[in-house]
Structure formats: C-alpha cells, structure tokens
Amino acid sequence: MIIAAISQSQQILDNIRQFLTESDINHPFFHNSNAENPHKILTINGDIHQVPAVAEQEHPDLLLLESSVNETSELQVLGNVTARFPSLGIIMLCSIQSPERLIEAMRVGVREALPTPPSRESLLSAVERFQQRIKQASMPIGKGKVLAFVPCKGGSGATFLATNLAYILAAQENKRVALIDFNLQLGDAALFLSDSKSSISIADVTRQIHRLDGAFLASSMIHILPNLGILPAPNEPEKATEIKPEHVNPLLQVAINNYDYVILDISRRMDAVSIQALDKAHTIFPVLQQTLPFIRDAKRLITIFHSLGYRDNKLQVIVNRHDRNSEITLDDIENTLRVPVFKSIPNNFSVVDESVNHGVPVFKLAPRSPIAKALLEISGELNQSTKDQGRWLKKLFAH
C-alpha cells in the first residue's frame, strides 16, 4: 500500500513515518506488509494545495492530510481529486471541526477525521480500517451458507462452538461471517467473543425490517473483526416477543446476500421463530455431550428434526467435551441416535474456561490448543465442502 502524508509540520510528518514503519507484530496494520511487500510511506511538507500533484504523481492508496480546512473552496480541491481518483482514501488530521464541516468533508471523499497530532494507536487503527475496507471491497459477493448450532440440552456448548467457529472462519479463512443470536430470551453469544455490550440487538433490526439491507444489518452488529459481526439478542427479555416468525426470512436473506457464512445460535426450545431459522439453514449442528441425559435429549431433538422434514444430510451431530476413556463411546452414540457423528470436540477445560471468562476466542487465546485445532479442522472442512459444491455446480452448467 502507498501512503502519502502531507503536513506543514515536519514534527508531525516524522511521527507519522515512525508510527507506520516501526513494525509491531501485535498490530494488525503490520500483518499485511512484509520484507518483499512493504508499505511505501511518502511524507510531503505542504498543505491541501499539494494534494492534486501528489495524487497525480504518486498514485497513493491513502492520503493522510494534516490541514485546517477553513474554506469550502479548499474542500473542493479534495473533491476534484477524489473525482479523478475514486479509490483514493483520505484521512484528515485536523483540530476539532464542526459537525457540518465534517459532513462536507465526508461528501468530498474524506473517510475519517482524526485529532492532530495523532496518537500512534489512533493513526494505526484508522489506517488499518481503511486497509480492511479495500480488502473487503475486493472480495466477490457470495451466497452465504447458513449454519445453525442447537444444544440438545442446556450447557452442551452450542454457543461456545458457534461463536468460536465464526471467529476462525473470519480470522483464519478470511470469510465474511455474520453470527445471529437466536437465543432471544437470554442470548449471550456476543460475550463469548468480546467484553463489550451493545444496546442494539436483533429486535432493533426486526422492528425496521422493511428498511433492512446489508449496510443497516452491518451497522447493527458488534464487530469483533472487520469481517465478523454479531447481531446480539436483546438485553431485555421482554423485547424477545417482538421478533416474529415472518421477520426471520427477510433477515436471513439479507445476511445470506452479504456474508459467506451466516451462523445461527439457536435455543433448544423449539418455537416458530427458531423453526423458521432452522428451515433456512443449510446445515444444523445438534451439539451434545457424552452422558445419558444429553443423549436422551439429542434423540428427542433429532426426532423433532426428522418430523420437520430435515434429512440426515442436513444434520451434523457434534459431540462436545469428548473423552476417549468414557464408558459411552462415539459408536454407542451413533447407534442410539441412528445418525452419524460428524465431529467430536475434546474437553479442554482450562483453555475454554479462560476464553469464556474473558470473552476471548480460543483461537486467539491458545491457537495450538487441542480445542482450537479441532475447530480449525471443522472450519477447514466446511470451506472445502463449499468449494467442492462450487466446482460441482460449475461442471453442471459447463455443458
């Protein structure tokens, strides 16, 4: 990426160069550059009037412009440049501006305004956000796969698996992932991946379902990563009743149009809303553990799924907290349920406990742990089967 910084202050230019070149592997900005492909940083002593020449001569991807913009005519200089170079991103560094001035700046293509002098963190984060936007824009629009996780009994680990798989599909496989918490009464999915609470929830989206599009959906989510958003359950359980079965299809359709994977955390209490969601799922993962009470409830749930017309190839049973030494084996479970076990996930108390208590995904906390490896394997397989299906479809239409 070519980044040009323009300022009349040599001190600010020196700081910007230092922030952007002093590599720090902990900051995601530096993940996209390496010795063969370093970011190119240009620093130019000047003001807004240098922008047209810099854009013409250097073709930067991103311009960091430190300039007070007092006149609308000055902003017009930027407008002319962004009209000629529409992919150029501009981040302004300026002292507090009026909201009207900021809106004017956005209109001529400025993406963000940071206070000056910028701190290292604010600058790196803004540049990283821009980088992510370019990355996402270059990804083709796909038809998302809907994966639903349902606990056969309370505490099976469905939410843990749904959230952590969502994270791996986004962080490792680079997919666009939406996670929707359909535990409408007491949903807690967001807390498995972050410690931040949101006041916006699925209820706010369904209330305005006729306005719903990709941008509205994205703006209602908690973003754990730029390509991983969670639509949380309402904080107030009474709002759960506002979500009606007829909201589910439009919501999921918008999600499918805008994400590669739409992951649903479903409550084990079957009702009209969850059935609508399960109908739309490509794959349902009933999650159970290796003891009799779980197996009994799994059997009941699978009977319900069969009566809803879900074929066995839509059901992929996951045995969580698997212990090889247990009296009950995977074969016993398959024989009782009469459906194959898709995967078993090891019991990994220390890592999972720390992850859940701090809201940090296991893949981030302990990428080499047995649990992270098991989840990586599943995400790899899911991706492979999506690719295989794509190839199969292409073949079908090739003749």
Ligand X SMILES: Nc1ncnc2c1ncn2[C@@H]1O[C@H](COP(=O)(O)OP(=O)(O)OP(=O)(O)O)[C@@H](O)[C@H]1O
Tokens of residue 287, six digits: 């999650």
Beta 228-231 vs 222-225: how paired, if at all?
antiparallel
Q: Which is nearer to ligand X, 5 or 146 (CB)?
A: 146
Q: How many residues does the chain have?
A: 399
Reduced to 3 states (helix: H, G, I; strand: E, B; else coil), residue 313 is helix
Q: Which is nearer to ligand X, 48 or 319 (CB)?
A: 319
| Alpha carbon distance 66, 48 (integer Å) | 8
Shortest approach of Mg ion to residue 270 CB, angstroms? 14
Exposed / middle / buried, residue 365 (Cβ in 10 Å: 0-12, 13-18, 19+): middle
Q: How far apart are the first and last CA of the chain?
A: 41
Shortest approach of ligand X to residue 131 CB, angstroms? 33
For CA atoms 148, 154, 159, 162, the dihedral sign is negative
Is 39 one of the binding residues for ligand X (CB under 6 A)? no
Contacts of 64 (CB under 8 A, 6+ apart): 3, 4, 5, 6, 16, 91, 93, 123, 127
Query: What is the size of the binding site for Mg ion (CB under 5 A)?
Result: 1
Closest CA to 113 of 94, 129, 87: 94
Q: Which stretch binds Mg ion (CB under 5 A): 65-73, 158-166, 212-220, 372-380?
A: 158-166
Is 356 one of the binding residues for ligand X (CB under 6 A)? yes
Is 160 one of the binding residues for ligand X (CB under 6 A)? yes
Is 190 one of the binding residues for ligand X (CB under 6 A)? no
Interacting residue with ligand X among 94, 273, 371, 375 (CB under 6 A)? 371
| Alpha carbon distance 244, 94 (integer Å) | 47
Interacting residue with Mg ion among 82, 159, 163, 201 (CB under 5 A)? 159
| Alpha carbon distance 52, 338 (integer Å) | 69
Query: What is the size of the binding site for ligand X (CB under 6 A)?
Result: 21
Is 347 one of the binding residues for ligand X (CB under 6 A)? yes
13-52 residues near Mg ion, rule: CB under 5 A:
none
What character string, x for contact with ligand X (CB under 6 A) and - otherwise, covers 81-110? Answer: ------------------------------
Q: Which stretch binds Mg ion (CB under 5 A): 40-48, 155-163, 194-202, 255-263?
A: 155-163
Is 348 one of the binding residues for ligand X (CB under 6 A)? yes
Is 320 one of the binding residues for Mg ion (CB under 5 A)? no
Interacting residue with ligand X among 82, 156, 206, 369 (CB under 6 A)? 156
Partner whose footprint covers residue 321, from Mg ion, ligand X, none (CB < 5 to 8 Å by kind): ligand X
Is 320 one of the binding residues for ligand X (CB under 6 A)? yes
Alpha helices in the chain (DSSP H): 10-21, 51-58, 72-84, 99-107, 120-137, 158-171, 202-207, 214-219, 245-258, 272-280, 292-307, 330-337, 349-358, 362-365, 370-398
Shortest approach of Mg ion to residue 266 CB, angstroms? 9
Is 118 one of the binding residues for ligand X (CB under 6 A)? no
Q: Which is nearer to Mg ion, 109 or 286 (CB)?
A: 286
Contacts of 175 (CB under 8 A, 6+ apart): 169, 227, 259, 260, 261, 383
Shortest approach of ligand X to residue 353 CB, angstroms? 6
Shortest approach of ligand X to residue 298 CB, angstroms? 12
Shortest approach of ligand X to residue 165 CB, angstroms? 12
For CA atoms 211, 213, 215, 216, the dihedral sign is positive
Q: Which is nearer to Mg ion, 159 or 227 (CB)?
A: 159
Closest CA to 269 of 147, 166, 184: 184
Q: Which stretch binds ligand X (CB under 6 A): 94-102, 128-136, 152-160, 238-246?
A: 152-160
| Alpha carbon distance 210, 200 (integer Å) | 17
Is 67 one of the binding residues for Mg ion (CB under 5 A)? no
Binding region for Mg ion (CB under 5 A): 159
**Can you give the binding site for ligand X, defined by CB under 6 A?**
151, 154-160, 183, 268, 287, 320-321, 345, 347-349, 352-353, 356, 371
